[in-house]
Homo-oligomer: A and B are copies of this chain.
Amino acid sequence: MAPLADLYQVSMAYGHWRAGRHRAPAAAELFFRRPPFRGSFALGAGLAEGLRGLRAFRFSAADVAYLRSVLPSTTDDAFFDYLATLDASEVTVTAVPEGSVVFPRVPFLQVKGPLLVVQLLETTLLCLVNYASLVATNAARFRLLAGPDVKLMEMGLRRAQGPDGALSASKYSYIGGFDCTSNILAGKLYGIPVRGTIAHSFVMSFRCLEEVQPRDLPPRAGGDPVDLAGLAVSWLQRVCDLLQTPPSKANQGELAAFVSYAVTFPCDFQGLLDTYCVRRSGLPNFCAVALALHQLGYQAIGVRLDSGDLAQQSKEIRGVFRACGAHFHVPWFGTIPIAVSNDISEQSLEEFRRE
């Protein structure tokens, strides 16, 4: 892991070494002054990674050669020889169990060992524990606000600080109370449940129903395949009549994308509602395909909203689902899960709870 450190750790190490204090017993404590997110607590996390960092702590010959090129030319050669002998075998770590609730100004990790090594480990440990604790804390706060039943999914891969930032976010969100991640690698490496259905790009890649191929789906209970596209078109008319919205405003490419996805994943159909107009296109198209699927014995798993006023729209969508469920005598329709994404914050979670 070395040299995952700030250069000043090495200059100070040289200072300690020259003063003959490099093996003096030292203890360093990790704590925070203010809890993140204007809160009152944090979760301490990242311990396993920190311990791996300690075990891997060692300066290779190349590391030492690099440091020699960076420190002043007056630096004593024997110091570099000494660096090459170091490891963390004399270091002991005491810490709260991974994911514990921790409070400001109360140390949650203590490192003891020879002064020089403890000094050199500081940045490594901070780097591995700080972000882990921050993300776990954020996840726990979201979980507290959302309550125990809401599903929380982490999908930050594209915005993270590169691959391992994203993996840390997936892992420590899960530790903090999230249910799943969009990140395949996090699922593969850590066994975190992964989820995902479709994006706007999939919806936009279709222009008309003629592009849907294959379009036949056998009923769930068995029997001859049925043309799902044709079935969805007839349902769209009935849904639009009920919702008093013109079928011509329902985007045909979107309907095609929904049908195509539903034929492919009949037991896992989720509609992404906001590629075009939610009320006049996304929602009628989804209801049409979901009702067509229902006619064949399948149940849609939900919808997703990715823009706009999520709380307000969710309320309207819930109303439409209830109306459809009652009108078409499909009881489960009223409780179709509504997923929201895009800038979910503590504030938006609170708004949802109020609605």
Q: With an 8 A cutoff between CB atoms, is A199 at the interface?
A: yes
Q: Which stretch from A156-164, A247-255, A319-327 is at the chain B interface? A: A156-164
Quote the shortest CB–CB distance from A14 to chain B (angstroms).
6
Quote the shortest CB–CB distance from A236 to chain B (angstroms).
20
In the complex, which residues 1-35 of chain A have their Cβ closer than 8 Å to any Cβ of chain B? 3-12, 14-16, 18-21, 26, 28
In the complex, which residues 113-165 of chain A have their Cβ closer than 8 Å to any Cβ of chain B? 115, 119, 122-123, 126-128, 130-131, 155, 157-165
On chain B, the residues within 8 Å of A122 by CB distance are 158, 199, 201
Q: Which stretch from A84-92, A101-109, A190-198, A328-336 is at the chain B interface? A: A190-198
Number of residues of chain A lying within 8 A (CB) of chain B: 77
CA gap between A158 and B127 in the complex, in Å? 4
A70 touches B194 (CB 8 A): yes
CA gap between A264 and B12 in the complex, in Å? 10
Q: With an 8 A cutoff between CB atoms, is A214 at the interface?
A: yes
Chain A contact residues, majority secondary structure? helix
On chain B, the residues within 8 Å of A261 by CB distance are 15
Instruction: From the candidates B10, B14, B16, B199, name the one contacting A8 in the complex (CB within 8 A).
Output: B199
B196 touches A19 (CB 8 A): no
On chain B, the residues within 8 Å of A169 by CB distance are 161
Residue of B nearest to A261 (CB): B15
- A-B CB proximity, top 3 nearest: A161-B165, A8-B196, A7-B196
On chain B, the residues within 8 Å of A123 by CB distance are 157-158
Q: Which stretch from A177-185, A238-246, A283-291 is at the chain B interface? A: A177-185
20 A-B contact pairs sorted by A residue (CB < 8 Å): A4-B157, A4-B184, A11-B197, A15-B202, A16-B205, A18-B260, A18-B263, A70-B194, A72-B267, A119-B201, A123-B157, A126-B158, A127-B158, A130-B158, A130-B159, A131-B165, A160-B165, A161-B161, A162-B164, A164-B165
